[in-house]
Amino acid sequence: MALSNQPTTRPLIGITADNRENTATSGTYECAADYCRAVSVAGGLAVVLPHDIGRAAHYAQRCDGLILTGGVDPNTSDFGTPMHPKARPMDPARQAFELALIEACTRPLLGICLGMQLMALWAGGRLDQYLPDTLATHKMHADNRCHPVAATATAEGLPPLGSMSEVVSSHRQAIVDPGSLQVLATASDGVIEAVHNPTRRFWIGVQWHPERATESTVDRRLNQDLFAMLIQAATRP
């Protein structure tokens, strides 16, 4: 991309961090380097965001685009649904911060795995909180396995998804109701794999991990294209 030769014009992309200890009172921020690397390759400048809910709106305004990263499980009790006993609730400070980011964000947004699930909950949707209880093919979506996805709709900014588009998955929960979001892609077993907000410019969530795509996966370009299209959207006025 031309942007890669113009570092002063690279858009600033805020990336959410995880809390290693998963507690609101203490912890250590961490973020997989793959997210930052994918943003840099696509032509952006990555900055990792702390869980500062009082400044969420400020971060959303200052960043040209946002990435909501993966992690453990949303606390659905905040949305009126009891937590599954085998769910692993995320740091409440992180959840509150990321929901505040979504609420304040008017810029391009890419939600990945947990990030997509938070987008759906914010939009009034619901989750299947433990796929091993409900889905015979749940292992297909675990432990960084690769599997195909196919498009059910089209959206500006989403790379083409053919019947054999290959993605990397590692999740135990999935969206069963996207709320006000539109479903863009599913897996062969019906699991929702991508959603977007049709009223916003590049508000896309994917259940897979595009940052983990390697040379050995079938569609490395498809996965990196998500980051490239986020950067392109972030550079447009």
pLDDT of residue 150: 84
Say if residue 72's pLDDT is above 70: yes
Confidence of residue 3 (pLDDT cuts 50, 70, 90): very low
**What is residue 162's predicted lDDT score, i.e. its pLDDT?**
55
pLDDT digits (tens, 9 = 90+) for 125-174: 999 999 999 999 999 999 999 888 888 877 665 666 655 578 899 999 99
- Tell me, what's the pLDDT at 2? 42
Domains and CATH numbers, the chain: 2-235 (3.40.50.880)
One DSSP character per residue, the chain reads -GGGG-GGGPPEEEEE-EETT--SSS--EE--HHHHHHHHHHT-EEEEEP--GGGHHHHHHHSSEEEE---SB--GGGGT-PPPTT--BPPHHHHHHHHHHHHH--S-EEEETHHHHHHHHHTT-EEES-HHHH-TTGGGGSTTEEEEEEESS--TTPPP--TTEEEEE--S-EEEE-TTSEEEEEETT--EEEEE-TTSSSEEEESS-GGG--TTSTTHHHHHHHHHHHHHHHH--
Q: Which residue has the higher pLDDT, 148 or 65?
A: 65
Dist. CA 131–CA 139, nearest whole Å? 9
pLDDT value, residue 182: 94
Q: Which of 18-32, 40-54, 115-129 has the lowest mean pLDDT?
A: 18-32
Mean pLDDT for the stretch of residues 3-21: 77
Q: What pTM does this model have?
A: 0.91
